Amino acid sequence: MVDLYPPIEPYDAGLLEVGDDNAVYWETCGNPDGKPAVMLHGGPGQGCTPGMRRMFDPARYRAVLFDQRGCGRSTPHASDPSTDMRHNTTDHLVADMERLREHLGIERWLVTGGSWGTTLALVYAERYPERVTEIIVSAISTTRRSEIDWLYRGAGRFFPEEWARFRGDLSGDLVAAYARLMEDPDPHERTEAARAWCAWEDTVLSLEPGVTVHNGPIGEWELAFARIVTHYYSHEAWLEPGAVIRDAGLLRDIPGVLIHGRRDLSCPADTAWELARAWPGAELLIDDGSGHRGSDVKRAWKLEALARFGSRSG
């Protein structure tokens, strides 16, 4: 078992007004004079957790965590059907990151994240390379149409019965169909759509240790998660086809570590491989025994990369 750093509480936190009546929750922990780093959670819509703080050496890093629009402690919450999702896009999240960086008085920072957080990290770095010292990403996703299609259709070849339940009587683009269901005025329809969506997300991960299919009550977290992720994926995150990998050359001067599990059914390894080929100097680490979630090997690799970059001047 790889030991993370001990649990730690933030030394500062707040809600940052980012426009469109949105406020983003943020927190900082570790050393106020340490190397700045920002952690980007997955989903989209999962929110940050206390465990994410434990990846950072509190003596070396000034770690910044925040809940992306509509989830966690940010307001308004996407579980509320009155929350306007038009103001929740990739462009908005990138702008929020820049506003937060400026608010905290940070000149440049290390950017890290996993899964959807990888997409957001890379888009941000490609648009603001001068603000990024290093990048560490895991469970690599670039939110291409082919990746979305695999996760919500292709992976059904491994779980045909569960996928049939997920599909139900829907036809055509399932992600778009679920996005419409999550906007249904009937709360029962929204709840059942969120239940089915979360069950499928868990099913794709169910071959990995410690994963069980969600069958409990549907609360604010599940409603917000399902609404945000279907909103983003039905629009392919408002990114041009293949843009993240196409523009990876813009990262040539930024040291990068890409960490991936060979057995990741949610995000197959070909995306990580293609990204590494397009990003000059990036280091690709693939663990043959890992899937999408964290593992001792992947955690050890990330801790090593953070330790190495923590002693590097930004």
Q: Active-site residues: which are they?
A: 115, 264, 292
Answer whether 130's CB lies under 8 Å from 101's CB: no
**C-alpha–C-alpha distance, residues 148 and 182, integer Å:** 18
- Nearest Cα residue to 143 out of 267, 16, 35, 231: 267
62 close to 31: Cβ distance less than 8 angstroms = yes
Handedness of CA 61, 123, 220, 26 (dihedral sign): positive
What is d(CA 282, CA 113) in angstroms, rounded to the nearest whole number? 16
* Cα–Cα distance for residue pair 47/184, rounded to 1 Å: 24
Give the pair of three-digit tokens for residue 304: 């090593």
**What 8-state DSSP symbol labels residue 229?**
H
How far apart, in whole angstroms, are the C-alpha atoms of residue 92 and residue 81?
19
CA distance 106 to 125: 15
